Structure formats: C-alpha cells, structure tokens
C-alpha cells in the first residue's frame, strides 16, 4: 500500500467514525487494565457481562484482593481460561497496591512487569487510558496488516513496528481502534465483506468471491 493509499484508507475510516472507542466497558484506568487482561482469547461481549457484576462490588486493586481468589473466580467463571486469569489479576492487584500505591502505571516497563500483562495489553492501556500513539496488534490487526498490504509481517511485533512507521501521525492515536473494528465487522477472517468495505479501493486484497445475490 502506497503512502497516498494509506492516507485515503485512514481518512475514510476517520470520516465514518471520528471518535472510535474500545468495546470493552470501563470507568477507570484500573477497570480498563482488568478488562483487557481478562479479554485474552475471549470476546468483549463476554468480558463485559462478567465485569459489569465484578466492578459493581470490586473496582479497585484492593477490593479485588479483598474478594480473594475463589471470590474472583466465581465472578469471572464465564470467561475462558478464568482460573489462570484470576490468578494473574490477583497478582497484578497485589503489585499495584504494593509498588504503585494502587494506581496503574503509565509506562510500558512497569505495565509489562505486571502478571498477565504482555505487550498488547500494555499498548491498549497506554493508548486508551493515557493517549499514547501505540499499536495493539491483535488477530484483527495482524490480519489486516498483511491482507491489505498496509504492514506485511510474520509476527505481531513486526506488523506493529511497520504500522507505527507507516500510519500518518495524525491518525495514530485512533488507528488501532479503526483497524480492530474494521477487522471485527467488515474485513472478517473467513469471509471478508469486501463489497461493503469503504476502503477497498486502497486495499491490496483481491476479492475472491462475489457479493451475495439480492
């Protein structure tokens, strides 16, 4: 994808959705961190259903600790891998209380030192909570980067670094939201809806199936 196509690509996405937001529900930086940690290999819808009840009674690191591990597991048992996620969240809450005064740190090194928080989760928190121009490469961004020709790479990190280099700075803060939503609802993994795609003229992917009749 050439620079002019990249500009058209993001200008079009911006015009359609000027203020994109994560679909995870949260009302504080800690709730965001916890929701993203719980969302690995799970849907945002499923995480939201669990966290609505969890955050109603425990929405700070100390309150999560006060629940105890069995109590936390009971609240998130509908989420995949809930036992390991509960353990990681409890350990993260302990570190937040002991090392950061119960607050979520705003730097990558401190975030990635938290149990269960990898580069992608740190990128989401840095971007959504602190407005930093990061690129959280999930399966949608990895697919779109390669499929569209926007950022070819064999690993998420390779795609991330190319996206950071190629996307114009004025679009960077919102870019990963646009790409996630586009991948989730239009440029889907098995059957991309190319005939509904507003940015298909800039995309390097060649439609292999026609639009459905009717």
Asked if residue 210 has pLDDT above 80, the reply is no
d(CA 200, CA 198) in angstroms, rounded, equals: 6
Tell if the pTM clears 0.85, that is, is over it: yes
Would you name the residues annotated as active-site residues? 120, 138
Please check whether residue 131 is in contact with residue 173, taking contact to mean a CB–CB distance below 8 angstroms: yes
pLDDT of residue 206: 63
Interval 20-32: pLDDT, tens: 989 999 999 999 9
Both tokens of 10, joined, read 């993001």
Q: Quick one: 25 exposed, middle or buried, by C-beta within 10 A (0-12, 13-18, 19+)? A: middle
Interval 75-129: pLDDT, tens: 999 998 999 999 999 999 999 999 999 999 999 999 999 999 999 999 999 999 9
Assign domain 29-128 to its CATH architecture. Answer: Orthogonal Bundle (1.10)
Domains of the chain, by residue range, sit at 3-20+135-196, 29-128
Please check whether residue 180 is in contact with residue 128, taking contact to mean a CB–CB distance below 8 angstroms: no
Q: Quick one: 211 exposed, middle or buried, by C-beta within 10 A (0-12, 13-18, 19+)? A: exposed
pLDDT of residue 208: 47
Asked if residue 211 has pLDDT above 70, the reply is no
Instruction: Please give the class, per CATH, of domain 3-20+135-196.
Output: mainly alpha
Please check whether residue 2 is in contact with residue 202, taking contact to mean a CB–CB distance below 8 angstroms: no
């Amino acid at each position: 994808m050439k620079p002019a196509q990249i500009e058209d690509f993001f200008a079009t996405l911006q015009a359609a959705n000027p203020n994109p937001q994560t679909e995870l529900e949260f009302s504080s930086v800690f709730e965001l961190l916890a929701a993203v940690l719980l969302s690995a290999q799970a849907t945002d819808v499923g995480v939201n259903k669990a966290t609505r009840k969890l955050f109603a009674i425990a929405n700070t690191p100390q309150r999560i600790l006060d629940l105890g591990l069995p109590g936390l597991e009971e609240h998130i048992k509908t989420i995949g891998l809930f036992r390991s996620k509960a353990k990681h969240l409890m350990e993260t809450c302990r570190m937040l209380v002991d090392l950061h005064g119960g607050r979520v740190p705003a730097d990558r090194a401190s975030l990635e030192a938290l149990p269960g928080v990898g580069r992608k989760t740190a990128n989401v928190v840095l971007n959504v909570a602190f407005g930093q121009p990061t690129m959280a490469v999930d399966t949608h961004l990895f697919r779109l980067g390669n499929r569209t020709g926007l950022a070819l790479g064999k690993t998420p990190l390779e795609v991330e670094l190319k996206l950071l280099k190629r996307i114009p700075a004025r679009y960077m803060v919102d870019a990963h939201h646009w790409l996630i939503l586009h991948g989730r609802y239009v440029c889907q993994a098995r059957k991309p809806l190319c005939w509904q795609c507003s940015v298909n003229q800039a995309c390097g992917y060649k439609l292999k199936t026609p639009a459905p009749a009717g």
